[in-house]
Structure 1
Amino acid sequence: MSKTCIITGASRGIGRAIAISLSNRDDITNFILMSRTETGLEETAMLMNTSKNIEAFALDLTQYKEVAGVIQEIGDKYGTIDMLINVAGYANPKSLLETSIEDWEKTYSINVHSIFNITKEAVKFMKKTGGQILNVASTAGSSARPGWLSYASSKAAIINMSQTLSAELSEYGILVYCISPGRCATELRKVLAPDEDPSTIMQPEQVGEVVNQLLSDDEVCLDGQNIVVRKQVKVARKKESSVLRR
């Protein structure tokens, strides 16, 4: 079967890792990569399976009418949209009193409104044949994160949006997944934790493999859930004391 897959935020990090992983599947032929960074998209395309049909669109997802036009173009060209993977995101963590209304609005425009817009446009095609939608949230969206108010609350919105859409779109045969990665060695993580050793935390490629498994044809049980993806920190076990061994 020849499927068409759209991936936003595909120029680096988790979006790039997902694109590379999925490109090695036999059932997906057409890949539509989206990001604001054209050079990053080109680099991603070169790392993917070159036998695939890959199109790259360098655009700002908050330009809602432009995005709607691109989705219409893709749907008309390929007849359907089978997969939509929403990865693009923005973070500038600050405390409440340090957060400007402009940055609050920017965070929601990218992390929430753009996903609403592209999902609505894609579903106009997906409802004809069914499909899969995967939204990338964050563990920050399901726990208190002082100093991360705008980012954490926007990711909480995505978790609820995914759960609601899973129920709403089921009549069309559309499965909606939501993953919440924990600490992951992305460019964004470098900004958030500049002193952290990236080799000690989860890698984007590991998240990409989880997504690949979720979007398999055999998966029928995990849609509508907030799936936490994290690398467990190994803790060295202390030796038992001589008293305990007696």
Structure 2
Amino acid sequence: MSKTVIVTGASRGIGRAIAIALSEREDLTNFVLISRTEEGLEETLNMMNPNKNIQYFPLDLSDYHAVQKLIHQIGEEYQTIDMLINVAGYANPKSLLETSIDDWEQTYKINVHSLFNITKETVKFMKKTGGKILNVASTAGSSARPGWLAYASSKAALISISQTLSEELSDYGILVYCISPGRCATELRKVLAPDEDPTTIMQPEHVGEVVNQLLSDNGICLDGQNIVVRKQVNKTPKKEKVLNQTT
């Protein structure tokens, strides 16, 4: 039986890396890529396994009704949604006194509200057969990050949502995972730390490899936990190591 995967934020960074990694698996057939940038989605598609059935949709996840319509379309077309990978995120890091209500609302609209919306619509189909949901949070959501108030608190909310849904959806055979990447060379990271050298930190491909392992049969005991994925920093140049540890 063919399996269907939805990946948000698939036009670049971690979302792209996850889509590419999962497309190499034999047990996954249909891929639905969602992001606001059509050009980036096309680039991702061209980097994926050409033997897969891949559709992409340039869509703003904060357009809740459009997302609901799309998920219904996908569910009707494939009759099942087996994996939902929530990667799309937004950041405009500022301190409390510099954060406008518009910035605050936009951060939560993308990082929390849109995730709630697409997850709810997906579960309407996923509950029939079971499945897996993976939410990409951040280490910023589990530690103090002065100057990143809106972003960090939204990621903390995402960790809590994941833990709660892991128990709430277990009766449907749905496993819910949450990963919190540390410093990773993404476009979003450039916004958070513009002066950082991206070659010295974890790459999106590292996160993609971890997610691929996590969503395999070997990750069955790791649902409901906040899993930190980060690069170990060595004082002397050595082979890169990526830590996959549960907090």
Give TM-score scaled by structure 1 length.
0.95
Is residue 202 of structure 1 aligned with residue 199 of structure 2? no
Deviations 1:130-150 (A, max 9, x none): 000000000000001011000
2:186 aligned residue: 186
Deviates more, 1:6-15 or 1:185-194: 185-194
1:6 aligned residue: 6
Distance apart, 1:189 and its partner CA: 1.2
Paired with 2:189 and 2:218, the residues of 1 have a C-alpha distance of 32
1:129 aligned residue: 129
Deviations 1:20-60 (A, max 9, x none): 00000001100000000000000000000011000000010
Deviations 1:78-123 (A, max 9, x none): 0000000000000000000000001100000000000000000000
Paired with 2:112 and 2:61, the residues of 1 have a C-alpha distance of 11
Paired with 1:3 and 1:36, the residues of 2 have a C-alpha distance of 24
2:226 aligned residue: 226
Paired with 1:173 and 1:194, the residues of 2 have a C-alpha distance of 42
2:101 aligned residue: 101
Paired with 2:203 and 2:189, the residues of 1 have a C-alpha distance of 11
Instruction: Tell me if structure 1 keeps the 8 A contact 2:6–2:85.
Output: yes
Identity %: 79
Deviations 1:173-225 (A, max 9, x none): 00000000000001111222222111110000000000000000232110000
Question: Deviating runs (4+, > 3 A) in structure 1?
Answer: none
Paired with 1:133 and 1:83, the residues of 2 have a C-alpha distance of 6
* Corresponding residue SS for 1:28: coil
Deviates more, 1:211-220 or 1:197-206: 211-220
Instruction: Tell me if structure 1 keeps the 8 A contact 2:18–2:208.
Output: yes
Is residue 168 of structure 1 aligned with residue 159 of structure 2? no
* Corresponding residue SS for 1:140: helix
Which amino acid in the other structure matches residue 43 of structure 2? E
Which amino acid in the other structure matches residue 197 of structure 1? D
Paired with 1:102 and 1:166, the residues of 2 have a C-alpha distance of 31
Paired with 1:236 and 1:205, the residues of 2 have a C-alpha distance of 23
Question: Radius of gyration: which is bigger?
Answer: 1
Paired with 1:192 and 1:157, the residues of 2 have a C-alpha distance of 19
Distance apart, 1:236 and its partner CA: 4.0
Give TM-score scaled by structure 2 length.
0.95
Is residue 142 of structure 1 aligned with residue 142 of structure 2? yes
Structure 2 residue ranges without an equivalent (≥5): 238-247
Paired with 2:14 and 2:220, the residues of 1 have a C-alpha distance of 23
Instruction: Tell me if structure 1 keeps the 8 A contact 2:91–2:191.
Output: no
Paired with 1:217 and 1:126, the residues of 2 have a C-alpha distance of 18
Structure 1 residue ranges without an equivalent (≥5): 238-246
Is residue 89 of structure 1 aligned with residue 89 of structure 2? yes
* Corresponding residue SS for 2:121: helix
Q: Compute the RMSD of aligned alpha carbons.
A: 1.0
2:242 aligned residue: none
Give the alignment of 1:52-67 within 5 angstroms: 52-67=52-67
* Corresponding residue SS for 1:152: helix
2:71 aligned residue: 71
1:241 aligned residue: none
* Corresponding residue SS for 1:212: helix
* Corresponding residue SS for 2:49: coil
Instruction: Tell me if structure 1 keeps the 8 A contact 2:131–2:175.
Output: yes
Which amino acid in the other structure matches residue 75 of structure 1? G
Paired with 1:176 and 1:161, the residues of 2 have a C-alpha distance of 10
Distance apart, 1:16 and its partner CA: 0.2
Paired with 2:134 and 2:73, the residues of 1 have a C-alpha distance of 21
Which amino acid in the other structure matches residue 182 of structure 2? G
Paired with 1:194 and 1:171, the residues of 2 have a C-alpha distance of 44
Paired with 1:135 and 1:226, the residues of 2 have a C-alpha distance of 10
Which amino acid in the other structure matches residue 74 of structure 1? I
